[in-house]
A and B are shown apart, each in its own frame.
Chain A
Amino acid sequence: MASDTATNPGATMDDGFSVRSIFSEAMSSSSATNAPRAPPAEPPRRVVPPPAKTTVDVSRTSTRVSRFSISGVSRIRQGFLSSLLQPAFEAKTIKEAVDEAREAAGKLRALGIAKAVVVQMDKSADKDALDVHFHCQDGSRYIIKTGVDVGDSEGMASVTGRLNNIWGGGESFEANYARGSKTQAAFQGTLSIPVEADPRKKIDIVANQAVLDNRPYSSHDELRRTLSMAYRAEGRSGSHEVLYSLSWRDVCNLGAKASPSLRTDAGHTLKSSLGYTFTCDNRDSPTVPSTGSYARVAAEFAGIGGDVVFGKSHVELQSNQSLGRGYVLSSSVHGGLLWGPQTSIVDRFFVGGSTSVRGFEYRGIGPRDGEDSIGGDVFYAAGLSLLTPLPFVTNDALKGHLWANAGQCALLDRRGLGRPGVSGEIARFLTSPSASVGFGLVYRHSMVRVELSCCLPIVATSTDRPKSGMHFGLGFQFL
């Protein structure tokens, strides 16, 4: 039984299993009653009509799975198998049994335990029961890969090693080392444990260390060490994530030029926080979508232990509408609020850059003390884009791009919107964003979106850093 190669690991697919034996049995058993009787001795010669076609309704025929065996997998756990096959053992009809067996095979493949599974179902010795057998081709035990990734306005080179199916239940451990233009060095180790043998639900334990070089924009280096535990589940409406993280952040290497506002934020902090994120994505492409919408809502509360206390929420919404003949109208809104007695630069929001409000430098919008962008406690950013087909270009991936972006970012304390002696700041914050318009080209690649834009900043505050002219943007998620 050959099995096809899968392109979409999540979907269950036809493994090509053999039900011939069942059907033949059913046929033979049901046709036994209608089988033509042997003609009596020397009857008068007449044509015997062929037996009538019998149909077997597999959704009604009651049966059960009595035995299960699996071969070809080097390591698999008993407890994992029982939770994997529990729906199959509960099946009452043939259709249910076949469906659940297929689903179990798909899960084995999605978890990386087996590369390909052939499901074989035979009539069992027990009455009205089936024996299910999985012929598996063992999944790869380890993978080592090197690659070049693209983050937001940053290119990174990384080395990843991955161990699959460590304890027989689809657990995997991945270690990753990356180095990029903005991230000096980042190590990450992730242990991923599926829950209830379901590849859509898992528990991740992550240990991470990264050194971020923020010196060109904010005059400091940040050393971040994080230990976190997350529960991720993909449901029908979207994916949910509950995360607890313990993070040790160090703002260091300030140098002689840093501003006093940055010096008050320098040093070591320990953040212990609990967060929840909900993501719903039904766009057709994550980089340059033409239909669908995307919503992401995140909330985080820090203060359970540690010495940082805050409540943070972050919302991203995007909707795309295809107007026909290659025109796409895309609009997106981002917003966030950080609420705490004394916020630190490592927690705040930054606006501006080629993946955020275009037409401004990276971290170019928002509170700025001297040369340093120190981030804001509240921000919003909105973007409206029209993607147009280009006249002589047949490739759908390259499109023209007309856009307008606006955003604003401010602190909430006595230095920002809460300044004594100035009234109406909140209203002014909401009604006068820093805005820019522009036009350019967009290229869609499955991994990355490349933009070349001519940016024309329209409105900016006196401390913003607008950047007009032709600019290049490379990233994954754009405004």
Chain B
Amino acid sequence: MATPEAPLRELLKNISFTQFPLHTTASFFAPSEIPRSQLHVHRPLRQSPGSSPTCDARSLHALALLRFASFDVDIVYGSAPDASPDGALPFLLMPSRAALDAKAIAQHVAAKLSNEPADHQAYLILAQHNLLPAIDYLFWVDRKGSSAVASRLLPFHPLIQRILGYQKARQVGDHLRVGQAELVGGTLDAAVLFENALRALDALVGLLAENEYFAGGQPGRLDALVFACVNCIVEIPVPSPLRSAVLREGSEYAPLVSFAMRILERYFPSQGDNLI
């Protein structure tokens, strides 16, 4: 079959392809503009002044970091978790059309927040690995908890919500089980999770002592994380030994609860503005 191709090849040698296409027209599509950075978070449990703008601990953590670093962002509800670069809300959509997931947001604001003593790194890890698992358990694995927040955390058709809820409960259960300190972690025991969380809160109360913020005059990364976790523990309408220990009359965790209230009043004044 060489013969039919030979004249074709000669023809092609004489054509240079850089001049194509010969004519360019205007596009029929103009993407919507993003005037200000948008933080996409889960919906809150209730929309009333004095309650937090979102029900999810990680979303509240990101929002708190941005507020502490004085970044002005719009809060957007109703996005699917799949829209985020890492598959989970929150994510920040910048006017440059780039998207930052939770880790990237933390790095983004790290420069603007005050320097914290080196100890706080250890406390951050303590809170991340002991408070967040207990909250995840209450939100996803505990039956009452997951049905209370399912519509906020999975904004889809009810049938899909239910199937995804089961899948997520299994996934989070596995995640919590392998995250325990003991190797070949055995079964997932909610009592152990809550004990770890209370121990972490003990340590944090010891650190906070009489100060206004953990980091001194200005709130820092540890303040944001502890505020988010304590707020979620207090707000989620599910009875648990964790919640009752924290909210009990005269409990030793009262300083943390008032710390969370203080930040909520100061940095999240009302819910009417900045919402899309």
Please list the residues of chain A having a beta carbon within 8 angstroms of any beta carbon in chain B. 248, 250-256, 258-261, 263-264, 266-270, 306-307, 366-370, 390-393, 398, 400, 408, 410-411, 414-417, 419, 425, 428-429, 432, 434, 436, 441, 454, 456-463, 466, 468-470
A268 & B28 in contact (Cβ 8 Å cutoff): no
A470 & B159 in contact (Cβ 8 Å cutoff): no
B157 & A410 in contact (Cβ 8 Å cutoff): no
Please list the residues of chain B having a beta carbon within 8 angstroms of any beta carbon in chain A. 1, 3-4, 8, 12, 15, 17, 20-32, 34, 79-85, 87, 93, 97-99, 101, 155-157, 159-160, 164
A393 & B34 in contact (Cβ 8 Å cutoff): no
B31 & A268 in contact (Cβ 8 Å cutoff): no
Contacts A456-B20, A458-B22 known; A367 to B83 CB distance under 8 Å?
Answer: no
B93 & A260 in contact (Cβ 8 Å cutoff): yes
A268 & B160 in contact (Cβ 8 Å cutoff): yes
> What CA separation (Å) do A392 and B2 show in the bound complex?
10
Chain B residues within an 8 Å CB radius of A307: 156-157
> What CA separation (Å) do A417 and B98 show in the bound complex?
26
Please name 5 further chain A to chain B contacts, defined as beta carbons within 8 Å, in addition to the given A253-B87, A270-B157, A393-B1, sorted by A numbering: A410-B29, A414-B32, A425-B28, A454-B12, A468-B20
B99 & A256 in contact (Cβ 8 Å cutoff): yes
9 tightest A-B contacts by CB?
A267-B80, A367-B29, A266-B83, A410-B28, A263-B83, A457-B21, A468-B20, A460-B21, A266-B82
Chain A residues within an 8 Å CB radius of B164: 268
A100 CB to nearest chain B CB (Å): 49
A458 & B21 in contact (Cβ 8 Å cutoff): yes
Residue in contact with A454 in the complex, picked from B8, B25, B26, B87, CB distance below 8 Å: B8
> What CA separation (Å) do A219 and B17 show in the bound complex?
28
Contacts A267-B80, A268-B157 known; A419 to B30 CB distance under 8 Å?
Answer: yes
B157 & A266 in contact (Cβ 8 Å cutoff): no
> What CA separation (Å) do A261 and B79 show in the bound complex?
12
A267 & B83 in contact (Cβ 8 Å cutoff): yes
> What CA separation (Å) do A466 and B23 show in the bound complex?
11
B215 CB to nearest chain A CB (Å): 30
Residue in contact with B83 in the complex, picked from A264, A366, A428, CB distance below 8 Å: A264
> What CA separation (Å) do A434 and B24 show in the bound complex?
9
Chain A residues within an 8 Å CB radius of B22: 457-459
Chain B residues within an 8 Å CB radius of A248: 160
B81 & A267 in contact (Cβ 8 Å cutoff): yes
B23 & A459 in contact (Cβ 8 Å cutoff): yes
A260 & B31 in contact (Cβ 8 Å cutoff): yes
A462 & B27 in contact (Cβ 8 Å cutoff): yes
Contacts A270-B159, A370-B97 known; A264 to B79 CB distance under 8 Å?
Answer: yes
Chain A residues within an 8 Å CB radius of B160: 248, 268, 270
> What CA separation (Å) do A432 and B21 show in the bound complex?
14
A459 & B21 in contact (Cβ 8 Å cutoff): yes
Contacts A254-B83, A254-B85, A270-B160 known; A457 to B20 CB distance under 8 Å?
Answer: yes
Chain A residues within an 8 Å CB radius of B21: 436, 457-460, 466, 468
Which A residue sits closest to B40, measured CB to CB?
Answer: A263
Which B residue sits closest to A432, measured CB to CB?
Answer: B25
The CB with the most chain A CB atoms within 10 A, among B29, B87, B98, is that of B29
B96 CB to nearest chain A CB (Å): 10
> What CA separation (Å) do A441 and B84 show in the bound complex?
45
Which B residue sits closest to A255, measured CB to CB?
Answer: B85
